[in-house]
Amino acid sequence: MSALVDGFGLPAWEPGGAVAVGVFDGVHAGHRRLVDVARAWAADRDAVASGLTFDPHPSALFRPAGRVAPLLQTLDDRLATLAHAGLARVAVARFDRAFAVQDPEQFVDTVLLGRLGAACVVVGEDFRFGAGQAGDVRVLEELGRRKGFALEVVPEVRVDGVPARSTVIRGRIEDGDVAGAARLLGRPHGVRGIVAPGRRLGRTIGFPTANLAVPDGLVVPGSGVYAAWALGAFGKCPAAVSIGVNVTVDPDASPTVEAHLLDWSGDLYGEPLALEFVARLRGMAAFAGLDALKAAIDDDVRRARGILTETVD
């Protein structure tokens, strides 16, 4: 992956490659279609398939604080997923006010041609660019004719009739429909963070949990209990994950992400941990007492194990 350098954080590439352009939040099925088109164009010409993304998310510049939608991935995870999808390199443009005020032709001249040397630009059919979003695919096509680069416009991708869009996927995740989100992503939605000390209440009822501190600004599944894969230094193991507030034990507590690892035990405090959500088991509920809570968790563990056994790679 390309390191950030001067000039909106962009590298200087030799001309001749294909460049897929987008925010690529989540790198979902629609984004991967752009990647596939860029790769195919480049392969036919013995060229390099590359990508251009932006950081921070453009909405962070234009929306009031507190109204920016949470992201599906960190920038590092986005770059890793794009690399796994097949892009040889990805440039990250620093999206600040100086970048945002470029008109469409300046963006093409300065960024796509001047820095990235694009011989082919690959975008989605709803792509907008330039100050005030003045540019669209028709403007980009005209600029391509004038300046000598090819344009590939990729139609919207739908999965089971549902548009593969970051906003749609975010809504599914926030509603707890992690299975539906996974179909649009083409993989389970995941979060990663550092295991932080918690109240250790799970240990007292026989279900120790890892309290995951998820970085701010990332979307987390809605309140409930989930079957998920846990990934860490120990490898990969099944988990039952509680998100929200355990109202039976402490109804006044702040929401947490607590993972009970089914086939591993040990001290994870301070260690990185990733969770990949496969299915929602139930919503959070108040139980009559600890015995009823333990019985419910026993059932959660049984169901999580069954679901994850069926999804083993």
Domain 17-156 listed as CATH 3.40.50.620: yes
| H or E stretch covering 193 | strand 189-196
226: number of CA atoms within 13 Å, CB side?
30
> Is residue 277 within 8 Å of residue 259, measured between CB atoms?
no
Tens of pLDDT, residue by residue over 48-80, are: 999 999 999 988 887 766 577 899 999 999 999
- Integer Rg of the chain from CA: 22
Tell me which architecture the domain covering 179-310 has in CATH: Beta Barrel (2.40)
Backbone angles phi, psi at 154, to 5 degrees: -100, 125
Predicted local distance difference test score (pLDDT) of residue 47:
98
Domain boundaries, the chain: 17-156, 179-310
- Enclosing H/E stretch for 234: none
pLDDT at 245: 85
Contact 208, 260 (CB under 8 A): yes
**pLDDT per residue over 195-233, tens digit each?**
998 666 656 667 889 999 999 999 999 999 999 999 999
Query: What is the residue type of 48?
Result: V
pLDDT of 203: 61
Cα distances (Å, whole numbers) of residue 209 to 121, 231, 242: 47, 14, 9
Q: Which amino acid is at 210?
A: A
Give the up-direction half-sphere exposure of residue 156: CA atoms within 13 A in the CB hemisphere.
Answer: 11
306's tokens: 């069954």
The closest of 88, 115, 274, 64 to 188, measured between CA atoms, is: 274
Instruction: Give the integer Cα–Cα distance in Å for 226 and 243.
Output: 8
Give the tokens for residue 73. 């991935």
Contacts of 110 (CB under 8 A, 6+ apart): 8, 102
Does the fold of domain 179-310 match that of domain 17-156?
no
With beta carbons less than 8 A apart as the criterion, state whether 239 and 219 touch: no
CA–CA gap between residue 108 and residue 95 (Å, rounded): 15
Please give the pLDDT value at position 205: 63
pLDDT at 1: 41
Averaged pLDDT in 10-residue chunks for the chain of 313 residues = 55 96 97 98 98 92 76 96 97 93 96 97 96 95 98 98 97 98 98 85 74 95 97 95 83 86 90 97 89 92 94 60
Model-level pTM greater than 0.85?
Answer: yes
